[in-house]
Structure 1
């Protein structure tokens, strides 16, 4: 027979689930801080092989990532919550529209950090009042390994592409967590249901998976277009196609998406202006218009220059002669990052037009831009020698 305390805790958990659903969460499960014992070794191998690229923040707090209790010693239970952001249509349809850009599904609406954090704080306030115990709320803002914890809690499993897969929502779940000092009965983990399928691995345009369940972020288009701060390495540019912020190929390829449903949260649905936006219009964004277009949106965080770098990659891959003038105009942009990609894009679209502008190479002082001129077949003397 269950004790009075066990009955009370069970009733409290039921109330938690009901409250979470009322706050707009689509799924909620509970795990413990000890539930991911294999995570530290996996993370250590990932970092030792340099697969994190320029994401130094992953290494700086690696110990806390691998062991939740080192992040907050008072934690007794971890409440993992998911919000569905499933697209209304085929997320890959825009790949064939080479005069338009493709933005990852998660970044076509409002910034999910803001949307989910408000809900987590509201739920957390209620939970703190009910339990009288301290807690911490996290949504991709601290060294928390959300995907392994979500799998341990039973929200889904980490597929061969390392992302979470849900039987109910496919690839499309945003995650948040509440670290609680209250002990709550843990849920069972979800078992891996990938089987022999390798659709996600085969879908990757840049071969970013050296093996199932392992990702080399340095080759990942999401990393290259978002986290990477410099010129995108030449070996990946053609494969990027018209993906101008992130990539959904491995997510969209998963067969479990047949069970996915469209997001119910209006703020997470795609804005019309961000569904296959015209490259010609995007190429003309200055800082104020960039900020206005991407207000309350994840794209805003990479800044105008990195975004236009991505747009120019798409322009170079477009084969659209109508975009030649946009690439040519950006040869004199104030950002060296933009100028470098403008040289590459124009060399792809109209080599003769680039040759007519080759006198500009002698005025260029930035090493990366000069390297693009050389790669395009227009070598120039060093600036001091040209004077």
Structure 2
């Protein structure tokens, strides 16, 4: 499925590589279907307080999400639907958004992820570094490749190195 809401909330595993660029900077859910639905064009917006956007949730800084531990996640998102994604899912999604943004300032935080978080998050951090590219990203990927033990993460690192070095996609 190409549904951003499904990919960012319900999918527990790896987001297929071909769908990651389509996610843009969405890290949780999506209301595009609601916005473009012909039925909703005539709908009246509600004023219910429970449905109002909470401050600090619309444009979160992505790097602190990568550095977040389970206790912080549980406290911060205690009464939020974001907890449905689980910490690893939210971190996976943050990696994808950082890769799509291609901001070189994310290289060091993503490099740190390659060395410490669970395989699901490491694999998406590798992809993000491949999207950002440059010598620093390549060095981080090569370092991670030397110590990685999980086969699907190794494959993701190898693919990311190819992306970063311009060996795929005509980069």
> Which TM-score bucket, shorter chain as reference?
0.7 to 0.9
Distance in 2, Cα, partners of 1:293 & 1:318: 25
* Paired residue secondary structure (1:273): coil
Distance in 1, Cα, partners of 2:80 & 2:41: 27
Contact persistence 1:346–1:353 (CA under 8 A): no
Matching residue of 1:319:
102
Q: Is the aligned partner of 1:250 residue 2:33?
A: yes
**Structure 2 residues without counterparts, runs of 5 or longer:** 163-171
How far did 1:228 drift? 1.3
Contact persistence 1:263–1:269 (CA under 8 A): no
Which residue among 369, 379, 383 is the counterpart of 2:153? 369
* Paired residue secondary structure (1:262): coil
Shift of the 375–314 alpha-carbon distance from structure 1 to 2, 3 Å rule, reads same
Structure 1 residues 295-317: Cα deviation after superposition (integer angstroms, max 9, x where no partner) = 11111022101110001100000
Matching residue of 2:56:
273
Structure 1 residues 57-109: Cα deviation after superposition (integer angstroms, max 9, x where no partner) = xxxxxxxxxxxxxxxxxxxxxxxxxxxxxxxxxxxxxxxxxxxxxxxxxxxxx
* Paired residue secondary structure (1:244): coil
Distance in 2, Cα, partners of 1:264 & 1:319: 37
Q: Is the aligned partner of 1:340 residue 2:131?
A: no
Q: Is the aligned partner of 1:303 residue 2:86?
A: yes
How far did 1:258 drift? 3.9
Structure 1 residues 182-218: Cα deviation after superposition (integer angstroms, max 9, x where no partner) = xxxxxxxxxxxxxxxxxxxxxxxxxxxxxxxxxxxx2
More helix by share: 2
How far did 1:256 drift? 4.2
Structure 1 residues 329-361: Cα deviation after superposition (integer angstroms, max 9, x where no partner) = 211123111111111111111342232121321
Shift of the 320–360 alpha-carbon distance from structure 1 to 2, 3 Å rule, reads closer
Distance in 2, Cα, partners of 1:351 & 1:366: 25
Matching residue of 1:282:
65
TM-score, length-scaled by structure 1 = 0.39
**Structure 1 residues without counterparts, runs of 5 or longer:** 1-217, 379-387
* Paired residue secondary structure (1:219): coil
Distance in 1, Cα, partners of 2:39 & 2:55: 27
* Paired residue secondary structure (2:27): strand
Written as runs of structure 1 = structure 2, the 5 A alignment for 1:90-105 is: none
Distance in 2, Cα, partners of 1:225 & 1:354: 25
Matching residue of 2:144:
360
Matching residue of 1:196:
none
Contact persistence 2:130–2:161 (CA under 8 A): no
- Which structure has the greater CA radius of gyration? 1
Superposed CA RMSD: 1.8
How far did 1:272 drift? 0.6
More strand by share: 1
How far did 1:277 drift? 1.4
The number of residues matched between the two structures is 161
How far did 1:234 drift? 0.2
Distance in 2, Cα, partners of 1:261 & 1:288: 39
Matching residue of 1:294:
77
